[in-house]
Structure 1
C-alpha cells in the first residue's frame, strides 16, 4: 500500500513543495493563506486518490487541475507538461521543417486553409479547401490527437497524403522542406511617391526585413510610407522596438513594462541609428492588430511620428514569459503590462472581472484615462489604439465576422473556384447574381450565423425541453427563430458590399496566392487609397500630428 501511495504522490508532493517554497519566498504577506490553500489541495488530492472507487491517473488529474486554475486568470497564462514542452522544442529546432500551409481542424476535419506559394503543400498540388483524411498509414478518422503533428519531420521527409476534394478522394506525395515565412511578405510602390510595406508578423526577422523594404522603396523614389499592420497578431517585443527605431532617434523610449515583481519592470529604448526621421508615415491597423502591432502604432502615435489610420486595434497590453518548472514542465506567465511612451496601457479586457458566462469584461469607455502625445494631442488608454483617422471600411460587421469565423465565405470560395478554374490573374467580379448565389449556398448548407441573439433563442428551447414546456411554446419559438433568421437576411443585404469584398479577397488568394491579394490591394483597397491620399496632402498630415 505504501509503495502504491508513494508512486502516486511523490511527483505532486515535490511539485507542491517547490510551489510552497517559491510562493513563501515571493509573497511573504500571503504566506499563511498560500500555505493553507496548498495544504487543503494536497489533502484533497491524497484523499480522492486513496478513496475513489476506480483507479485514477494522478498525472492527468494534476494536469487538468493546473490548467483549470490558470484558465481563471487570462488566456495567455498556460501550463505545459513534459509532452507539451517536448513538442515545442522539436518544433523550434533548426531541423524543424513544414508543409508550408495554413491548416485548421474543425469538427474533426483537417482542412488546408491556405497553401503558400512554392512550398511543399503547393508543390504537392494541395489547395485551399482540401480535407486531409490520411497521412501515411494513419487514418485521421481514428486519430484524435493533434493531427498536424503527423506532418512534421526533418528535411526531405516524404508523406503520402490522401485528401478529399469536391467529393473525390485523391492521393499525393508531400516532401518536407525548410519553411521560412516572411515577416514582410510584400512591399511595392503605390503610385510614384508612396511606398507600401506589409508587416504580417513580428518574428526574429521583422525589423531587418522592414528596414530592407524601406531602404529599397526610398531608392525607388518613395517620399512617404504606408506600413500595413492590419491582421498582425504581434510577436517579439524587441522587434517592435527595432521597427520604431527605423523612424525615430536612437535612445527614444518606445515601451515600458510594469509588474508587481520589480525585476520585470523594464524600459525599452531604440538602440540603432534611424533610417529616416522625416519621411511621412501612415500606419494601418484594425481589430486584429494586436500586441507588438499596438506597441509600434501606439509608440509612433505618442511620439507624433505617424498618423494611425483604420479601426480600433485589438487591445492586448499584457506581456508573457515562459518559466521552467520541475520535471521538464513549463509555465508561460503573464508577468507585466506594457505602456506606450505617453504612459497609457492599451489592454481592453479586464480578466479580473468577468460576466455571468465567465468572459472577461471589456473596459468601459467612460473609464478610459486621457494622456498627451509629445505635441499635446489627447490619446486614451483602455481600449487598444484608437486611430487618428477612423475608417468605417476598416471595421468588420457582426454578420461578416460570423461568415468569416464559421467559414461561410471560405467554403463558398472553394465551390466557386472549382466552377471557375481558369480565371488566372483576372480579378474575380462578384456580381449581384453571384451574391444571390452565395445567399442560396448559405441556405442550402443550413449555415448557422451563431450570433448572440440566435444562440440565446436556441438556448431558450434547450431550457424549455428540460422543463418539459417545449411543446407549449413550439409555435412561438419557431416564429421567433424565423424572425431572427429574417433579420440575418436583412443584415446580409445591408452589408452586401462588405461581404462581396470578402469573397473577392478570398478568391484572389485561390488564383494568385497571398501575393496577388496584396498587389490587388495597392490599386483597390479603400484604406490604402485613403492613406496614400492623406500622405499626399502634407498640410492635412501635419495638421493631424499637431495639437
Structure 2
C-alpha cells in the first residue's frame, strides 16, 4: 500500500508546486483543464489522508515528501528550497555570511568540522578538521531533527558554545560569530617570473571582477602568461561564466546558447565587452569536479582555440536552472534548458529523461560521442560527457574507486589520523612517498575496505531482495564469493589509481598543517597539473601545436 501511495504522489502532484507558475504556462501547453483537475484531485487526497489515516500525520512532512517524490522523477538539479535554503542560496551568490568560519558536514546525527578557515572563529577557538561537534548551546546534535548546522549561525559578535569530540576526548569551546567573506578567487600568485596563476573557486557575483583584478595584479608583477585553475569549481551564475570568458575572448563572440521546450528560454549569450586580454597565452585546469559554469568557460576557451585545457574530463553538467518564487518565501529551482558550447557541443553526461530499466539516468557512451570542430583552427572536439582536456593527467582524474573513497570520507579520516601522528613545521617537508601510500592502503585494509562501490551496493540490494524471497539458501555461497572478488578488485584498483589518490591525500594532509593558503602554495610548487601547465606555457612551439 505504501509503495502505491508514493507512486500516486509522484504522478499526480506535479501541479502543487508553484501552481501560479504552472498555470502561467497553460497558454503554452494548452493543458489548463488537466492542471486544474490534478490540483483538485491532490487537494482532496491530501485532505482525506490528514482526516482518516490510521496514525497521526504531519501535514508539512507529507507535503515535503510529496514534493520531493515528484521532483525525484525529473533531475537532481530541479529542487525545492525552504525559506532557510533560499536565504542560504542568496548568501552563496553574494559571497558573504555570518558564522564560525568553517566547512561543516552533517553526517548521520553528527556535525564534523571538515575545514576551519584561518583566523576565523572556529580556528581561533582551536577547532580542527575531524572534530565532531556533539552539542551546540546545550542542544545535543543527536536529538536535533532539523539541520543542526543552522545552530552555528547567528549575528556577528554573538557567542556560541560547542562540545566536541577529538580523538576520543570530550572538549568544549566558546566561539564568537563573525562575518565571513567567501572569495571567488581565494588565491593568485606568480608561478614563475612570467606565469601568473589564478584559482577561481566559484562563480558568484564577484567571480569576473575578482578574476580580472587578480590578472591585473599579476601582470603588474610581470606575468605574460596565465594559468586559470577551475579544478573543483562546481559552477554558479551563468552570467559570470560569460563574463569570465569575456576576459580572454573578444566582444560579440558566442559563449553559450541555451535550448528549451519553452521558447523564452532559448537564448544566445555573447561577450559584451572588449576582452581584457585577448592574446595572453592561457591554460585552463579542470577535473571531474569542474562543473556547469566551469564547463562553459573551459568549453568556450577550447572551442575558440583560445587556450590549452589540462587535467581530466569535467563533470558533465549541461543543464541550466532558474529559481521561481513560491509562497511563504520558498522557491523551486527548475531546470529550464540545456546549454551548448560555441561549437554546438552539449557536455551533459547523464540522460535523466531516458532512463534504464532500473530507473537510473543513462550515461552517454563513448562510442556515441559526436565530433565537432573548434571555431578557429578546426580541431576535433567531442560532446557527450563533460569537457575533455587537450592534455589528460592521471593525477587529475576521479575514478569510481576514488569517488567511493571521497564519499565515505576515507581520505579525510586517514588525514585526521595522520595529522595527530606526524609533526610538520615546514610546508616543503610534506612530500608523501610510496611508503606513505602503502600505509594508506594498509589502513584501508585494516578497516575492511569500509567504503562501498556502486557495484557492491547493487549486489547487496539484490541479495536483500533474495532473502525476502527466501532464495538466499541457494545463492549465499555465490554472493559471498562475488563480494570477496569485489574486495580483491578494490585492492587492485586502489593501487592502479595511485596517482589520483596520492594527489588528493597530499592536498588533504597539507591543509591540516598550513590551511588552504598553504595548500595553494604547496600545489604551486609540486602539483602535477600545474607543472604540466607551466611546461606547456614555457614551450610556445608545443602550445601552438596543440591549438593548431
Note if contact 1:251-1:270 (Cα within 8 Å) is conserved in structure 2: yes
Note the C-alpha offset of 1:81.
Answer: 4.3
Q: 2:481 aligns with which of 479, 482, 490?
A: 479
Which piece of structure 1 moves more, 491-500 or 507-516?
Answer: 491-500
Note if contact 1:20-1:38 (Cα within 8 Å) is conserved in structure 2: no
State the match for 2:363 in structure 1. 362
Note the C-alpha offset of 1:224.
Answer: 1.1
Note the C-alpha offset of 1:402.
Answer: 1.8
TM-score by length of 1: 0.90
State the match for 1:246 in structure 2. 247
State the match for 1:404 in structure 2. 406
1:213-224 correspondence to structure 2 within 5 Å? 213-224=214-225
Note if contact 2:95-2:183 (Cα within 8 Å) is conserved in structure 1: no
Q: Take 1:512 and 1:86, find their aligned partners in 2: how far apart are those partners? A: 32
Note if contact 1:20-1:35 (Cα within 8 Å) is conserved in structure 2: no
Note the C-alpha offset of 1:434.
Answer: 3.2
State the match for 1:45 in structure 2. 46
Q: Take 1:207 and 1:92, find their aligned partners in 2: how far apart are those partners? A: 13
TM-score by length of 2: 0.90
Alignment of 1:505 onto 2:513? no
What secondary structure is seen at the aligned counterpart in 2 of 1:197?
A: strand
What secondary structure is seen at the aligned counterpart in 1 of 2:501?
A: helix
State the match for 1:450 in structure 2. 452
Q: 1:393 aligns with which of 395, 399, 415?
A: 395
State the match for 1:287 in structure 2. 288
Note if contact 2:189-2:198 (Cα within 8 Å) is conserved in structure 1: yes
Note if contact 1:16-1:38 (Cα within 8 Å) is conserved in structure 2: no
Give CA-to-partner distance per residue, 1:121-157, whole Å, 9 cap, x none: 1111111000011111211121121011001011111
Note if contact 1:63-1:81 (Cα within 8 Å) is conserved in structure 2: no
What secondary structure is seen at the aligned counterpart in 2 of 1:503?
A: helix
Q: Judging changes above 3 Å, is the alpha-carbon distance between structure 1 residues 494 and 182 closer, same or farther for their aligned structure 2 residues?
A: same
Note the C-alpha offset of 1:163.
Answer: 0.6
Q: Take 1:91 and 1:255, find their aligned partners in 2: how far apart are those partners? A: 23
Which piece of structure 1 moves more, 442-451 or 84-93?
Answer: 84-93
What secondary structure is seen at the aligned counterpart in 2 of 1:62?
A: helix
State the match for 2:234 in structure 1. 233
Note if contact 1:299-1:341 (Cα within 8 Å) is conserved in structure 2: yes
Note the C-alpha offset of 1:532.
Answer: 1.4
Q: Take 2:450 and 2:407, find their aligned partners in 1: how far apart are those partners? A: 11
State the match for 1:140 in structure 2. 141
State the match for 1:6 in structure 2. none
1:126-525 correspondence to structure 2 within 5 Å? 126-375=127-376, 376-471=378-473, 473-525=475-527
Note the C-alpha offset of 1:14.
Answer: 9.4
Q: Take 2:443 and 2:508, find their aligned partners in 1: how far apart are those partners? A: 16
Note if contact 2:197-2:229 (Cα within 8 Å) is conserved in structure 1: yes
Q: Judging changes above 3 Å, is the alpha-carbon distance between structure 1 residues 462 and 423 closer, same or farther for their aligned structure 2 residues?
A: farther
Which piece of structure 1 moves more, 479-488 or 310-319?
Answer: 479-488
Note the C-alpha offset of 1:47.
Answer: 4.1
Give CA-to-partner distance per residue, 1:168-204, whole Å, 9 cap, x none: 1111111111111211111111222211111111111
Note the C-alpha offset of 1:373.
Answer: 1.9
Q: Take 2:312 and 2:471, find their aligned partners in 1: how far apart are those partners? A: 45
State the match for 2:545 in structure 1. 543
Which piece of structure 1 moves more, 466-475 or 231-240?
Answer: 466-475
Give CA-to-partner distance per residue, 1:352-382, whole Å, 9 cap, x none: 0122332211123343333322222222222
State the match for 1:9 in structure 2. none
The alignment covers a number of residue pairs equal to 534
Larger Rg: 1
| CA RMSD in angstroms, aligned pairs only | 2.6
**Tell me, which stretches of 5 or more residues in structure 2 are unaligned?**
1-13
Q: Take 1:24 and 1:191, find their aligned partners in 2: how far apart are those partners? A: 59
Q: Take 1:392 and 1:223, find their aligned partners in 2: how far apart are those partners? A: 28
Note if contact 1:241-1:269 (Cα within 8 Å) is conserved in structure 2: yes
**Tell me, which stretches of 5 or more residues in structure 1 are unaligned?**
1-11
Which piece of structure 1 moves more, 74-83 or 410-419?
Answer: 74-83
Note the C-alpha offset of 1:511.
Answer: 0.6
Note if contact 1:13-1:42 (Cα within 8 Å) is conserved in structure 2: no
Q: Judging changes above 3 Å, is the alpha-carbon distance between structure 1 residues 254 and 36 closer, same or farther for their aligned structure 2 residues?
A: same
What secondary structure is seen at the aligned counterpart in 2 of 1:319?
A: strand
1:18-29 correspondence to structure 2 within 5 Å? 18=20, 21-28=23-30
Q: Take 2:355 and 2:441, find their aligned partners in 1: how far apart are those partners? A: 37
Give CA-to-partner distance per residue, 1:272-307, whole Å, 9 cap, x none: 332211111111111111011011111121122111
Q: Take 1:183 and 1:505, find their aligned partners in 2: how far apart are those partners? A: 20
Note the C-alpha offset of 1:19.
Answer: 6.4
Note if contact 2:15-2:39 (Cα within 8 Å) is conserved in structure 1: no
Note if contact 2:449-2:487 (Cα within 8 Å) is conserved in structure 1: no
Q: Judging changes above 3 Å, is the alpha-carbon distance between structure 1 residues 92 and 492 closer, same or farther for their aligned structure 2 residues?
A: closer
Q: Take 1:418 and 1:543, find their aligned partners in 2: how far apart are those partners? A: 48
Q: Take 2:529 and 2:84, find their aligned partners in 1: how far apart are those partners? A: 45
Q: Judging changes above 3 Å, is the alpha-carbon distance between structure 1 residues 94 and 490 closer, same or farther for their aligned structure 2 residues?
A: closer
Which piece of structure 1 moves more, 319-328 or 180-189?
Answer: 319-328
Q: Take 1:17 and 1:511, find their aligned partners in 2: how far apart are those partners? A: 52
Note the C-alpha offset of 1:432.
Answer: 3.7
Note if contact 2:510-2:518 (Cα within 8 Å) is conserved in structure 1: yes
Note the C-alpha offset of 1:308.
Answer: 1.2
Note if contact 1:96-1:154 (Cα within 8 Å) is conserved in structure 2: no
Q: Take 2:224 and 2:265, find their aligned partners in 1: how far apart are those partners? A: 40
